[in-house]
Amino acid sequence: MKLNKTMKRWIFILITALAIFLTADLCAQERGVKFSGGTDLVSTYVWRGVYESGPAFQPTLTLTAGNFSATAWGSVDFDNKYKEMDLTLAYALGPVTLSVADLYWTGHNDDRYFLFDNHSPHRIEVGASWVVSERVPVTLSWYTILFGAADLNDKGERAYASYFEVAYPFTVKTIEMKAGVGMVPWNAEATYYSGGRGFYVQNIFLNAGKSWNIPGMESMLIGIFTNLVWNPALEDVNFVGGISFRM
């Protein structure tokens, strides 16, 4: 059977992921494996400044071995009209974290999860985050979609949708805060709903949250958080509240 370019790309991605997992397994034998998980309940789901759905459950499961991590994260709204499933592999090199993610969400002409042809709803995104300094922990992050039939601009061409963010975490008394701004450098209509725009500011945010240990269950955490998000490009604003549970 002759393989088309799309299938070859997916096979390459799967082989790469397998190699990373094998490497992680060797690390795990020496350093041990840790699992963590939890779920959030949010009033609104907003991703990089873009409104995705109303109230939603967002479970997460993470495997960590040394500097390597593999995370499964999902979101489903109360009406079951929007569903998302993200799988991310990441590796930390000091202050820099490199990642590759499979991003899947509904809302395409064909939302079948195991569809990997030229109509696939999946997007494969690579990213890098850099914590500039321990004293002043400004974080610079860049993400670009390399593969995915759904990654298009307003002309129907491949967009290689990208997102750049500058964020700064800080603490006010016992409240953990984070402020930042995210930008889209070029047209990426199908991912960020930006129309024909080129460079623009997509996401201005201020987050606040606090967590507590559950008495008698020290490995369990419960938290509350609020996120205030402005999207100048879409002339939108969202104020998100949520509850988190971690184990």
Which tokens in the block code for residue 241? 């509240």
Q: Say if CB 214 and CB 172 are below 8 A apart.
A: no
List, for residues 17-58, the tens digit of each pLDDT value. 555 555 555 555 456 789 999 999 999 999 999 999 999 999
- Whole-angstrom distance, CA of residue 188 vs CA of residue 198: 8
State phi, psi for 230 to the nearest 5 degrees: -110, 140
Residue given tokens 């907003």 in the structure block? 46
pLDDT exceeding 70 applies to what percent of the chain? 87
Lowest mean pLDDT among 1-15, 67-81, 154-168: 1-15
Reported as a pLDDT band with limits 50, 70 and 90, residue 2 is very low
- Whole-angstrom distance, CA of residue 224 vs CA of residue 48: 20
pLDDT of residue 3: 45
Enter the pTM of the model.
0.86
List, for residues 65-108, the tens digit of each pLDDT value. 999 999 999 999 998 899 999 999 999 999 999 999 999 999 98
Q: In the predicted model, what is the mean pLDDT of residues 173-190? A: 96
Answer whether residue 1 shows pLDDT above 50.
no
